[in-house]
Amino acid sequence: MAQVRGHEAIAAVIEGAQGMFPGLVFSAGEVFDAHHDVARFTWHLGPEGGEPVVVGFDVVEPAGDGRIARVLGFVDKVPAA
């Protein structure tokens, strides 16, 4: 969906995604786990307190200094066109 570097660029992508879906909110999903130096988590997008209309998961790889080196995002559920 996007390839960015730096705090400002990441914030801009998040802000842009939130602006594309007025009235919907991102929330944490049910899965949070890690193996070696890689973590994954699920997320939802939908009305606050309601059924999510989009479900996805991200895989995060940390850099050696504790910052995030890479995030790979996947979408598992999207509304029908």
Could you report the per-residue pLDDT of 20-77, keeping only the tens digit for each? 888 999 999 999 999 999 999 999 999 999 999 999 999 999 988 988 888 888 999 9
Q: What's the CA gap between 33 and 55, in Å, rounded?
A: 17
CA dihedral (76, 19, 8, 64) in degrees, to 10, reads -20
- The tens digit of pLDDT for each residue in 36-46 reads 999 999 999 99
Q: Find out whether 55 and 48 touch, Cβ atoms under 8 Å.
A: no
Identity of the amino acid at 29: G
Q: What is the pLDDT of residue 1?
A: 67
How does residue 14 score in pLDDT terms, banded at 50, 70 and 90? confident
**pTM, entire model:** 0.79
